[in-house]
Amino acid sequence: MKNIYTFENEPFVNFKNPKNKTEIEAQLNDVQSKLGKQYPLVINGERIKTERVIESLNPGKKDEVVGYVSAAGTKEAERALNVASETFKTWSKVPAKERVHYLFEASRIMRERKHEFTAWMVFESGKNWLEADADTAEAIDFMEYYARQMLDLANPEPLIQINPNVDPDMYRPLPAEDNKLEYIPLGVGVVIPPWNFPLAILAGTVTSAIVTGNTVILKPSELTSVIGYKFVELMEEVGLPKGVLNFLPGYGSEIGDYLVDSPKTRFISFTGSRATGTRIYERAAKVQPGQRWLKTVVAEMGGKDGVVVDETADLDQAAKDIVSSAFGFQGQKCSAGSRAIIVESVYDEVAAKVVDEAKKLVMGPGKDNFEMGPVSDQKSFDKVMGYIEVGKKEAELLLGGEAGSDEGYYIEPTIFGNVVETDRIFQEEIFGPVLGLTKAKDYKDAIRQYNNTEYGLTGAFHSTVEERIEEALEDMQCGNLYINKKCTGALVGVHPFGGYNMSGTDSKAGGPDYLLYFTQPKMKTRKLSNLS
Ligand code: NAD
């Protein structure tokens, strides 16, 4: 049996259990007592403090500094590139069995200390307990899954053998051979994760690159570099050799291009916005002086995801799924369902149910486990509020539309009705708690409108008619399609995740072929007999 089939998802913690509640509260208090510390770069195991620092803030409490993180410039970036290039010479020769050991150990320790990682995310990203715990669970899953996948990749299926039984009178026999197809590492990878899954995506993109034998420069998001540092510390704790993982926080606008352009960079594993992803894709395509390869780019980008509802659907369930897709983690998931396209005969009924459901959401700090928390920062706050103003002109405001407490970056869950498919709020990724409801003539028109986007990440279709479900499965153009469910919440291994078109380069994180992106196949043929 393949190793991958022994994988099981990490269960989510039930915080209604008093023991779990007490434990997370204790960890939150502990983390709060550790806020405001300094965090250096880590290059070749060496701690480097820079003069300039990034102030990482709690988005739910703007005056609370989570940590001061050193910000690398191009000098430090070059140093990290040199270290990663040099370390690649030894790390790429370490057997897969030894490489996977570091992932299994890291996941074991993270599982033991999961509330600690969860608590750091609550402070640094504004997630509530459930969202942060799911993030930690996903990080554990990625490490467990990719370690197993690497064991299988190191032991690939046998190739076709040369037929030894040809009639030598009629045909020329070929010599016997030993043939092996091996997946070898690429080189130095620049890993650039976003802030919205500050542990899961960071851990998944780092460990998939490392376990396949590459060395990594990790440039975390400016907004969540402290949790990035915590992960790097964990990898040091499990004994990962120095120089394999280099921690290079800094501003994307200052060191991003430098890292992407460098002839020493072999691949870029990016997750973030469409604008940054397409910039990286374009720059990486240019062969620089001294560069000896074509760079690989794996880019997971934005979405304009949506839920489609026909008149036969369970409308109560559909409304609940629309609300959790739109407002889970304040709509700041790449999979967030910011559009609901509803067949007109049930539009009014569904709209009323959606508004009622969303009214139940209470807003407040992640630390106190409110359903709705803040958006990530001032920039995001301004952008989302800007879209709300656009929405007020384009459509009909049904709920919210205002900022919440200015202690943090709070925005009310906001719903617009009668959004049409040419509206900006229908077409552009908002990445905040804003949902648009759109009427469709019938289910076919609803699917057509759903597809009227340049993105293609997630979607959901609600109906009870089997033929329509089959049609939706065939025709809705997205990487992750859910039937009679919400359009968020992918599980590693169960729902390999990634989008098409302007949502990304078609890879599937947490899927059976993900590691192949970070390897190159090498065919090894050894002649065994003396036939010529
Ligand atoms: P972003 O593009 O602003 O930043 C992502 C990362 O890119 C950060 O680390 C940033 O510092 C870095 N960066 C910025 N400029 C750069 C440059 N010129 N060169 C190299 N790196 C640079 O995105 P964000 O706001 O952090 O994340 C939100 C976006 O991520 C949303 O669009 C969301 O849909 C998307 N996302 C996609 C997925 C997915 O799996 N498809 C998952 C999570 C988030």
- pLDDT by residue (tens digit) across 60-107? 999 999 999 999 999 999 999 999 999 999 999 999 999 999 999 999
279 CB under 6 A from ligand 1? yes
Tell me the CB-side half-sphere exposure of residue 523, using CA atoms within 13 A.
5
Give yes or no: residues 285 and 369 share one domain: no
Give yes or no: residues 216 and 147 share one domain: yes
Look at residue 530 and tell me whether its pLDDT is greater than 90. Answer: no
Give yes or no: residues 219 and 284 share one domain: yes
DSSP 366-382: GGGT-SB---SSHHHHH
Residue 532: predicted pLDDT:
57
CA distance 26 to 22: 6
Amino acid at 87: T
Catalytic residue from among 131, 334, 394, 412: 334
487 is catalytic: no
What's the 196 CA to ligand 1 centre distance in angstroms? 9
Residue 531: predicted pLDDT:
61
CA distance 383 to 372: 18
Give yes or no: residues 285 and 425 share one domain: no
Look at residue 306 and tell me whether its pLDDT is greater than 70. Answer: yes
Give yes or no: residues 350 and 487 share one domain: yes
Which residues have CB under 8 Å from 386's CB, separation 6+?
none
Residue 39: predicted pLDDT:
98
Look at residue 52 and tell me whether its pLDDT is greater than 70. Answer: yes
Question: 55 - beta bridge partners?
Answer: 68
CA distance 465 to 314: 11
Q: Which band of pLDDT confidence, cut at 50, 70 and 90, is reported for residue 399?
A: very high
Look at residue 456 and tell me whether its pLDDT is greater than 90. Answer: yes
Containing H/E element for 228?
helix 225-237
Give yes or no: residues 236 and 371 share one domain: no
Give yes or no: residues 186 and 273 share one domain: yes
Q: Residue 254: inside a domain, yes or no? A: yes
The domain of 384 spans: 305-492
pLDDT > 90 in the chain, percent: 97
Give yes or no: residues 286 and 149 share one domain: yes
> 23, 90 in Cβ contact below 8 A?
no
Q: Residue 418: inside a domain, yes or no? A: yes
**174-186: average pLDDT:** 95
Residue 221 alpha carbon, nearest atom of ligand 1? 9
Give yes or no: residues 289 and 339 share one domain: no
Q: CA-CA distances (angstroms) from residue 61 to 131, 156, 430, 523?
A: 18, 51, 22, 56
300 is catalytic: yes
Look at residue 38 and tell me whether its pLDDT is greater than 90. Answer: yes
DSSP 241-307: PTTSEEE----IIIIIHHHHH-TTEEEEEEES-HHHHHHHHHHHTSPPTT--SPPEEEEE----EEE
Give yes or no: residues 213 and 360 share one domain: no
Q: Quick count: other Cβ atoms within 10 Å of Cβ 413?
A: 26
Residue 282: predicted pLDDT:
98
What's the 195 CA to ligand 1 centre distance in angstroms? 8
E strand map for 452-518: 455-456, 458-462, 480-483, 500-501
Domain count, the chain: 2
Residue 367: both structure tokens together? 């630390």
> 302, 432 in Cβ contact below 8 A?
no
CATH of the domain at 256: 3.40.605.10
CATH of the domain at 357: 3.40.309.10
Give yes or no: residues 117 and 253 share one domain: yes
Q: Residue 498: inside a domain, yes or no? A: no
Q: Which band of pLDDT confidence, cut at 50, 70 and 90, is reported for residue 529?
A: confident
Mean pLDDT of the chain: 97
Label residue 402 left, alpha or beta by phi (over 0 means left) and psi (-120 to 50 means alpha): beta
Give yes or no: residues 198 and 63 share one domain: yes
What's the 21 CA to ligand 1 centre distance in angstroms? 33
- Residue-wise pLDDT for 333-367, tens only, equals 999 999 999 999 999 999 999 999 999 999 999 99
